[in-house]
Structure 1
Amino acid sequence: MTTIDDRPVLVVTNLDDPTADLVIVELHDRGVPVVRFDAGDFPATLSCSAFIGDTDGWRGSVRTPSRRAELGSVRSMYYRRPSGFAFPHLDKQDERFAVAQARYGLGGILTSLPDCLYVNHPHRIGDAEYKPAGLAAAAAAGFVLPPTLITNVPGDAQAFIKKYGPVIFKPISVPLYLVGGKAQTVPVTEVTADEIDDSVTGTVHLFQKRVDKVADVRVTVIAEQTFPVRIDSGLLDWRTDYGTHTYTPLVAPPGVERSMRAYLRHFGLVFGAFDFALTDSGEWVFIECNPSGQWAWMEPPTGLPMTAALADLLEGGLRDQ
């Protein structure tokens, strides 16, 4: 007799997430129940009740107007990019209080579900999003790194540029940045020593030796599967114009594969989107790893089955680990 597994997959993300949409369609076609919500919809259209005491884990439910998920029977959670909690009807002090209760209350419940596979766990995502921690982990994992300086001291920045130039500047973290109401990408830019002034003292900046690259590589790692893709664009920052790209599936060198596995183990991740600069000599230079990175746009031109791989992972839950 075949046992029907009716445990749901939770997909926690914002409304506009086409990558999550693809995974949800794949799961739906397999008959896997899915409950999708944006944590930022709490409490307007999202509610939660949870109990613990004479049980071995949280029991209760999280509910949307059309879905309900029992907390003790969630097989996996695909945690993508939910919007933040907001209580705009409250004054600033009360809003800070309410946001803290939501973050540590609802957020704490969602990060401590029993027998749930997280892709990825929100706490592990938070750890890995610290770029200095990522660079340190990459060095320890054996990756080749470009010389990098993080500073708010203008003289140190100038000295670094003079020693290692050409040098690029890029953000350490990129919160939502709106121009005319539209989200913007803050691009990587080349910077010279004479462009450095006292404004550098205002916050921390990241400067990095520009890699003399012939192409970029994005490697999407989903559990035990690895999907490397060469991106030819001719751009310093390939994210600034996707219309220039050509994509070619690759095989990662064994040393790079080992280093990626070590990096993911370090942060406790089961998914990672690695970026490398590929040099003329064939060296893969580590740039970063995004624990919530995009991948779906590369699937149609390459034919790589990334949606299916992620659905396999979520469908299997911890029982397949």
Structure 2
Amino acid sequence: SIYYRKPMLPDLSPFDPQYHLMIQRDIIAVINGIVDCFSGKVLTRPSILRKTENKVYQLMYVSKNGWNIPESYIGNSNGECIKYEKSASIIKPLTTGKTYGKNGWELYQTNLFKEINEDISLTPIYLQEYIPKQFEVRVTIVGRKMYPIRIDTENKVDWRADYQNHRYTQITCPDDIIVKCYKLMDDFNLVFGAFDFIVTPELKWIFLEINPNGQWLWLEQSLKLDISQKIVEYLIS
């Protein structure tokens, strides 16, 4: 079996920097090709991850299948962004949000959105209305084992920016959320998924995204969960 997590690239400093990106792409192409054509069990094939990690694909799916979602815009039109400037809104990265430069790398996460002063015709962005939340939920699923974790934090924009002040509680999902999550997993051909929700003061569950290869170890360690055991059981079954 193969557990495809996040392949680490080697140090390419001995090579001319002009060729680093090409070498990196070639390495990943070989790894992904081996994993995608492997006849045994894989968690999860790169070809499935590439499709299901796409925010456009996710947003179109949930909007057609009855999920509660924030009003959202993905595109490159300055004119379409004006209404988001006039109300409480957030901006988030479409992909990983990482940039690389001479001094290392920077990570861009979800932030409050105010305005755009530049032409975005070649730089599509992801905007959403800001929805007040009572708490957030990370739902990790392995097969048909679900781990819904309530996350209480002082940061009401992006809980990932405030790990040191988190409080975690294992909770139960509403029945309709359970049904929707399992259906999405089946439709996306996933065995593992990490769903992010916000829950409003009225206890309405709002879908934000699913990460088909998301982090889970910090929750297992914080609450003594058995996520890693379920992953191993799947791989050896």
Query: Do both share a fold (TM > 0.5)?
Result: yes
Match of 1:239, SS?
helix
1:112 to 37, 42, 58: 37
Are residues 1:278 and 2:189 paired? no
* Structure 1 position 151, deviation (Å): 2.0
Change in Cα spacing, 1:218 to 1:180, as seen in structure 2 (3 Å) is: farther
After the TM superposition, which residues 30-109 of structure 1 pair with which residues of structure 2 at under 5 Å, given as runs?
76-83=1-8, 89=15, 92=18, 96=22, 102-109=27-34
TM-score by length of 1: 0.66
Deviations 1:74-115 (A, max 9, x none): xx211111135886636857974x66665555532321112x
After the TM superposition, which residues 1-321 of structure 1 pair with which residues of structure 2 at under 5 Å, given as runs?
76-83=1-8, 89=15, 92=18, 96=22, 102-114=27-39, 116-162=40-86, 165-174=87-96, 176-178=98-100, 183-192=105-114, 195-235=115-155, 236-316=157-237
Question: Counterpart amino acid of 2:161?
Answer: T
Instruction: Give identity over the alignment, percent.
Output: 27
Match of 1:213, SS?
coil
Q: Which has the larger radius of gyration?
A: 1
Distance (Å, rounded) in 1 between the aligned partners of 2:3 and 2:219: 20
Match of 2:107, SS?
coil
Distance (Å, rounded) in 2 between the aligned partners of 1:250 and 1:148: 28
Question: Counterpart amino acid of 1:209?
Answer: E
Deviations 1:10-61 (A, max 9, x none): xxxxxxxxxxxxxxxxxxxxxxxxxxxxxxxxxxxxxxxxxxxxxxxxxxxx
* Structure 1 position 159, deviation (Å): 2.6
* Structure 1 position 262, deviation (Å): 1.5
Match of 1:269, SS?
coil
- Contact 1:137-1:266 within 8 A present in 2 as well: no
Change in Cα spacing, 1:102 to 1:307, as seen in structure 2 (3 Å) is: closer
TM-score by length of 2: 0.88
